[in-house]
Structure 1
Amino acid sequence: MPRPVRLVPAVAVLLALTGTACGAGVHGTPGGSGVRDPYFPKAGNGGYDVGHYDLTLDYTPATRRLTGTAVITARATQNLSAFGLDLAGLDVGSVTVEGRKARFNRAGQKLTVRPHDDLSKGETFRTVVRYSGTPRTLTDPDGSEEGWLPTADGALGLGEPVGSMAWFPGNNHPSDKATYDITVTVPKGLQAVSNGELADQSTRGGRTTYHWHTAQPMASYVATVAVGHFDISRSTGPHGLPIITAVDPTQAKASEEVLAQLPGIIRWEEINFGPYPFSSTGAIVDRPGSADYALETQNRPVIPADHLATGTLVHELAHQWYGDAVTPKSWQDMWLNEGFATYAEWLYQEDHGGKSAQQTFTDLYDGDNEAIWAYPPAKPSSAAHISDSPVYQRGAMVLQKIRQKVGDDTFYDIIQGWVATHRYGNVSTADFTAYVEKKAPHRDFTEIWKDWLYGDRKPDHP
């Protein structure tokens, strides 16, 4: 009979092979820096998939100081010796992985974390990052501002395309969606509004804490925090859907008429696009100039008061289906967001006494706006142009061409089935064209894809 001591090396070999015992015996390699997005190559990180973010923030507008703790629960997709998080600016005080202190370093927007023990492929692990400082406002390649935008009485956290890294560390690419808990403490008298539903609110020591919970997967670019004075109202929409709106008190009267249309817009969009994909809806309306654009932040879009109009509300709410529930795999596929939301505006006009979608299409084709034909909607010329008119208007024209080809019954089957099939997932343009061809197998879409979706000039015929 072998002596017991001889079992020890055998057990060690077994642990090395199975990768158990908290990473003992695992030989990992660093996760990739960036996910090779064709327009934002530094965005995102390889080697893991985030399941949940638990963010605890404390913000004082008077000093513009943010203190945060991010608890990130993720699953390793390879044996990992190190992994990256995106974080622009802010000072990192400490990082732990699975409760043990981890080494870390900063280089540009990357926070590289080296766990005490290598992580096994398939292992779920928890990273805690404590950080603080003055969050940055970032300038996009197209010149617009995102990240953390100070406002007259607070701030807005806006993330498209990469601004979320200005206020929390994460895997900052739309291909990695997660659920969220966002808890924000602000001076008493101010409000903090975020995605999802308000799970808890408390006041202590002159400061109020708001805890928002988002149960459905969300891309980092549609996560938001709005701090300031807001009138928060709660009502219900179709089939009891909670509607939560937050409006700057100075804009309450001016926004009343448009926001009153919100339940009807949701009802109309459900008829056209299928069941609303999230557990609540609404809007955040801040003062004019708080941002120079509206954004489809999940559950409740952020719309500066000077951008608030029926068409804008239709557009941003349509994104809840196209962009938020069904999210692009890369920023090259942004037309799957913006072309669909723009087409929603066309359909809404068509159903509410305005021009038909076909007339809007014809007017654009016959018009003198040459910018529409500057590049294909499915292949923007550069990161600076992913929000230009080809992505929006010509993207919508692609959908109208499909509608012309297949007729209304099949067309609505396509746009509703697209969401139902890919809800909470990520998609590419190739996924969409394959889906259309599958739903209409006896139709030839070669010309539409070649001339309208990927063509680099104005098609010869409308």
Structure 2
Amino acid sequence: MRLIRARTLIAMTAAAGLVLATPAAATDRGPGAPGIGDSYFPNHGNGGYDAKHYSLNLDYQPGADLLRGRARILATATQHLTRFNLDFLLKVDSVKVDGRPATFARTGLHELEITPARALTRGKPFLVEVSYADTPSKVPVPDETGGFQPWIATADGALALGQPQVAWWWFPSNDHPLDKATYDITVSVPKGTQAITNGIKVKERTSGEKTTSTWVMDKPMATYLATLFIGQLEVRMGQSNGLPVVTAYSKDLGQYEAAAKESIEQTPQIVEWLAGSFGRYPFRSMGGSVTSALPGFALETQTQPVYDPRFFRAGPDTYVVVHENAHQWFGDSVAVKDWKHIWLNEGFATYAEWMWSEKLGEGTAAEVADYFYGLWPAEDEFWQVKPGDPGAADLFHNATYYRGAMALQALRVEVGDAAFWNIVKTWPTVKRHGNAETSEFIALAERISGKQLDAVFDTWLFTVGKPATSPNGTAAATAKAAGGEPASVAKIKAVHELLRHTK
């Protein structure tokens, strides 16, 4: 795979040079900013460059939890750059920029500040190479993560899974959804151990006591959507409509095993059903992993969602599979420009569950919306969080999910089914593999429907307090009781008991 990796880097270097080369401005010289400008997480990501491709070569020793890596990052300078940062926590051995040794230093717990031997010219591609080795589970957890540790070492491997932070623990990056890139990831592990990551596995070989696999993600991916799942796994390889399907299961799932497999193996059918409403599936592979590491949530890691086995404690659960695969359109392909727009991810994925309820005959989306609207009384703190701008502390609040989905149901009622489904399918098509914000969605909805929709979105996304009527226009006093509790509600609640845990 060295040849493939080299060809990828050369091709992307050429493309970057042709498209982005511009003269350096005299006033545009200096260090890149240590943050990309997110309103909730100002220290996430970095300024001064645009990452294009990550080439990761990793060696992992389970038990010792020792990760050795070499990351090669192809980027383009967006200013005349004298210094720049990467987000990273592990111990660094050396850094090179365009093949020349560069100086580096820590300027904050997760900031790696790099000074190249020569300043980088605006519009020109450059290549950063970082060599490192460390024990990720023993690295101090920064205060800004709320004490959450997204690297979980297990007896037979490890799991890297988190939102909004995770990359810091296993590869250096420009860690923000606004700077998506393509990837190739090569992982070496002891013979008898498997490594699962994103995209298509293009090569695997065993030599001596090591097994090495190479995976390629050829569509842009946000850093938090990259995952690494290592262990003694049962790995199943298949195909659906010409696309490879990879599912993986820890071998010690115990009581959860049968239900987990029955659920995850339905991924291809669920993806095909979702495509009927959301448009063509945006990636070239699909699958899912169930880990015994008990992360406490599921996450929509690109093409390879990861699930806590406790989602299947009461038996098979397709609702969580629907939720995570809906994210492949909403959150993965169409990523947020700023974390305050997270309802565009979670509202749509939750609404997909309500659509699934309707398909299974367990309650229409309208009935489910009315039920959840009636579930929380007006004085409940649920109604104090604005899904359109929840705040960093409430990023994964119930309101982001449920009230975000209610906003979509209210939109559906306001514009009618024909316009609504046109909006829902057009949005991930026109924004495919890009980034978006709420104002752009509202503009699209108004253009397609021909209606002015400020009242709908202000009410459901940006106003504190319980709206006077449900998303269907039902009076508050009768909404919950109107049709009783839909059969799907208990299943949806069970999914969200884990989903809303800190990611």
TM-score under structure 2 normalisation?
A: 0.84
| Matched residue, 2:193 | 190
C-alpha separation in 1, matches of 2:376 and 2:258: 38
| Matched residue, 1:294 | 298
Select the residue among 302, 309, 317 that pairs with 1:305: 309
User: Aligned to 1:210, what secondary structure does the other structure show?
Assistant: strand
Does structure 2 retain, via aligned residues, the 8 Å contact 1:26–1:120?
no
| Matched residue, 2:398 | 389
| Matched residue, 1:10 | none
Q: For 1:424-455, what per-residue CA distance to the aligned partner results, in whole angstroms no more than 9, with x for missing partners?
A: 000011111111111112x2312112211111
C-alpha separation in 1, matches of 2:212 and 2:98: 27
Q: Does 1:280 align with 2:285?
A: yes
User: Aligned to 1:250, what secondary structure does the other structure show?
Assistant: coil
Does structure 1 retain, via aligned residues, the 8 Å contact 2:151–2:169?
yes
C-alpha separation in 2, matches of 1:188 and 1:318: 35
| Matched residue, 2:104 | 104
| Root mean square deviation, CA, Å | 2.0
User: Aligned to 1:145, what secondary structure does the other structure show?
Assistant: coil
Q: For 1:386-416, what per-residue CA distance to the aligned partner results, in whole angstroms no more than 9, with x for missing partners?
A: 0011110000000001100111111111011
| Matched residue, 1:364 | 372
| Matched residue, 1:225 | 228
Does structure 1 retain, via aligned residues, the 8 Å contact 2:295–2:308?
yes
Does structure 1 retain, via aligned residues, the 8 Å contact 2:39–2:340?
yes
Q: Does 1:134 align with 2:135?
A: yes
C-alpha separation in 1, matches of 2:189 and 2:369: 47
| Matched residue, 1:81 | 82
Q: Does 1:417 align with 2:419?
A: no
Structural mapping, 1:401-412, within 5 Å: 401-412=410-421
| Matched residue, 2:383 | 373
| Matched residue, 1:241 | 243
- Greater shift, 289-298 or 412-421, is seen at 289-298
Structural mapping, 1:168-183, within 5 Å: 168-183=171-186
Once the 2 structures are TM-superposed, how far is the Cα of residue 361 of structure 1 from its aligned partner? 1.0
| Matched residue, 1:333 | 341
- Greater shift, 261-270 or 313-322, is seen at 261-270
C-alpha separation in 1, matches of 2:426 and 2:205: 42
Q: For 1:111-137, what per-residue CA distance to the aligned partner results, in whole angstroms no more than 9, with x for missing partners?
A: 011111111111000000011111147
User: Aligned to 1:321, what secondary structure does the other structure show?
Assistant: coil
Structural mapping, 1:19-58, within 5 Å: 28-58=29-59
Question: Match for 1:162: what amino acid?
Answer: Q
Q: Does 1:268 align with 2:273?
A: yes
Does structure 2 retain, via aligned residues, the 8 Å contact 1:19–1:26?
no
Does structure 2 retain, via aligned residues, the 8 Å contact 1:85–1:171?
yes
Does structure 1 retain, via aligned residues, the 8 Å contact 2:82–2:119?
yes
User: Aligned to 2:94, what secondary structure does the other structure show?
Assistant: strand
User: Aligned to 1:73, what secondary structure does the other structure show?
Assistant: strand
Does structure 2 retain, via aligned residues, the 8 Å contact 1:57–1:68?
yes
Question: Match for 1:34: what amino acid?
Answer: G
Does structure 1 retain, via aligned residues, the 8 Å contact 2:68–2:132?
yes
C-alpha separation in 1, matches of 2:243 and 2:416: 32
Q: Taking structure 1 as reference, are residues 184 and 437 closer, same or farther at Cα in structure 2, changes over 3 Å only?
A: same
Q: For 1:149-174, what per-residue CA distance to the aligned partner results, in whole angstroms no more than 9, with x for missing partners?
A: 11242111113101211111000001
Does structure 1 retain, via aligned residues, the 8 Å contact 2:62–2:155?
no
Q: Percent identity?
A: 42
| Matched residue, 1:426 | 435
C-alpha separation in 2, matches of 1:367 and 1:80: 54
C-alpha separation in 2, matches of 1:180 and 1:292: 27
C-alpha separation in 2, matches of 1:72 and 1:416: 34
Once the 2 structures are TM-superposed, how far is the Cα of residue 176 of structure 1 from its aligned partner? 0.3
User: Aligned to 2:150, what secondary structure does the other structure show?
Assistant: strand
Does structure 2 retain, via aligned residues, the 8 Å contact 1:327–1:424?
yes
Once the 2 structures are TM-superposed, how far is the Cα of residue 292 of structure 1 from its aligned partner? 0.5
Once the 2 structures are TM-superposed, how far is the Cα of residue 146 of structure 1 from its aligned partner? 4.2
Q: For 1:85-107, what per-residue CA distance to the aligned partner results, in whole angstroms no more than 9, with x for missing partners?
A: 0002x211110000001111112
Does structure 2 retain, via aligned residues, the 8 Å contact 1:147–1:167?
no
Q: Which runs of 5+ in 1 are unaligned?
A: 1-17
Once the 2 structures are TM-superposed, how far is the Cα of residue 26 of structure 1 from its aligned partner? 11
- Greater shift, 366-375 or 114-123, is seen at 366-375
Once the 2 structures are TM-superposed, how far is the Cα of residue 28 of structure 1 from its aligned partner? 2.9
Q: Taking structure 1 as reference, are residues 260 and 329 closer, same or farther at Cα in structure 2, changes over 3 Å only?
A: same
Q: Which runs of 5+ in 2 are unaligned?
A: 1-20, 471-503
C-alpha separation in 1, matches of 2:27 and 2:67: 37
C-alpha separation in 1, matches of 2:455 and 2:63: 57
Q: Taking structure 1 as reference, are residues 19 and 418 closer, same or farther at Cα in structure 2, changes over 3 Å only?
A: closer
Q: Taking structure 1 as reference, are residues 387 and 207 closer, same or farther at Cα in structure 2, changes over 3 Å only?
A: same
Select the residue among 141, 149, 152 that pairs with 2:152: 149
Does structure 2 retain, via aligned residues, the 8 Å contact 1:326–1:419?
yes
Question: Match for 2:347: what amino acid?
Answer: G
Once the 2 structures are TM-superposed, how far is the Cα of residue 458 of structure 1 from its aligned partner? 1.1
C-alpha separation in 1, matches of 2:154 and 2:301: 18
Question: Match for 1:235: what amino acid?
Answer: G
Once the 2 structures are TM-superposed, how far is the Cα of residue 36 of structure 1 from its aligned partner? 2.1
Question: Match for 1:293: what amino acid?
Answer: F
